[in-house]
Amino acid sequence: MPTEDGRVDGSYEKLSRDELLRIASKLNWMHSIDLGDGFVTTGQWPPPNAEQQEALAKIDFRGSKVLDIGCWDGRYSFEAERLGASQVYATDLLNQRPYSDQPTFLVAHAARKSNVRYFPNLSVHDIETLGVRDFDVVLFSGVYYHLKDPLRALAMLRRVMKDGACLYVEGAVLNEPGCYAAFHYREPYCGDYSNWWIPTRTCLRQWIESSYFDVDKEYGPWGDHTADIWRTALLAKAVRGPNPLHRLVDELLGEFSDPV
């Protein structure tokens, strides 16, 4: 398992490649990850679609310090490393997801001989405990709608990002006019009780903008017209400066606001 600083020096790193691939073939993977030599894990989730690929292609990972929130098996963490990131921090919260006992990330990490730092028991709300406040890129994919307090999560991410850093946000939305979010408790969204808030696209954009980010572009939405299930992706830039819509000092983000 990882050490306190996220370095993976566990038993999987000591196994032979044949042993790692044998283990990998028996695990339940959500991501399709290339482990080399033609071995690609069979992920239950589809690979990034055209909109996601377009958004991710806009991010310059070269020499960057990257934070991947809710990394799961690590697809995006390892891809950022492959694309030239100098450091990658991958976080997850295993007690909030199925297959938490399966070492998919560790097996992929060992098979790829990766240097990604892994923090499997770290909530996005506690991200400052990493002790890093100068991330260049943050990947926040498939997470915000699983949180009771998504705005707090966005605030905590802004607090650990450089000015001008890139935020990639992807997730479920309501493809409807207006600025609001539907709260799901008694009636779970898509039958999944881990879903809490599903915002409209306008609402998601304002969540991001109110957390000291400028949205550069939205990609999508895409989804199922018959089931009315939609997703979108956005790229935003971390900013600071006067915010005339904040008449009071923001509790968590006051340091980024200049007087109006």
Q: CATH number of the domain that 84 lies in?
A: 3.40.50.150
Whether 130 maps to a domain, the answer reads yes
Phi, psi angles (nearest 5°) of residue 6 = 85, 0
Helix (H) or strand (E) holding 215: strand 213-224
Whether 2 maps to a domain, the answer reads no
| Confidence at residue 131, expressed as pLDDT on a 0 to 100 scale | 97
- Number of other residues whose CB lies within 10 A of the CB of residue 135: 23
| Confidence at residue 19, expressed as pLDDT on a 0 to 100 scale | 96
| CA nearest to 146, candidates 207, 201, 198 | 198
Low-confidence ranges of the chain (pLDDT < 70): 259-260
Joined tokens for residue 162: 């450089």
Whether 20 maps to a domain, the answer reads yes
Whether 110 maps to a domain, the answer reads yes
- 110: helix, coil or strand? helix
Rounded distance between C-alpha atoms, residue 88 and residue 115, angstroms: 8
Residue-number span of the structural domain to which 44 is assigned: 11-256
- At 69, the amino acid letter reads I
Q: What pLDDT, in 10s, does the model give residues 206-218?
A: 999 999 999 999 9
Count of domains for the chain: 1
Phi, psi angles (nearest 5°) of residue 249 = -70, 130
Rounded distance between C-alpha atoms, residue 210 and residue 111, angstroms: 41
Whether 4 maps to a domain, the answer reads no
Joined tokens for residue 241: 């400066």
Whether 6 maps to a domain, the answer reads no
| Confidence at residue 241, expressed as pLDDT on a 0 to 100 scale | 86
Helix (H) or strand (E) holding 210: none
| Confidence at residue 52, expressed as pLDDT on a 0 to 100 scale | 97
Joined tokens for residue 152: 């707090």
Joined tokens for residue 23: 């283990």
| Confidence at residue 242, expressed as pLDDT on a 0 to 100 scale | 81
Whether 75 maps to a domain, the answer reads yes
CA angle 169, 172, 178 (to 5 degrees): 95
Helix extents (H) in the chain: 17-24, 50-57, 75-82, 104-111, 150-159, 201-209
- Torsion angle, alpha carbons of 160, 163, 168, 174, to 10: 90
What's the alpha-carbon Rg for the chain, to the nearest Å? 19
Joined tokens for residue 129: 């405990």
| Confidence at residue 259, expressed as pLDDT on a 0 to 100 scale | 58
| Confidence at residue 107, expressed as pLDDT on a 0 to 100 scale | 97
Q: Are 104 and 176 in contact, with CB atoms under 8 Å apart?
A: no
Whether 44 maps to a domain, the answer reads yes
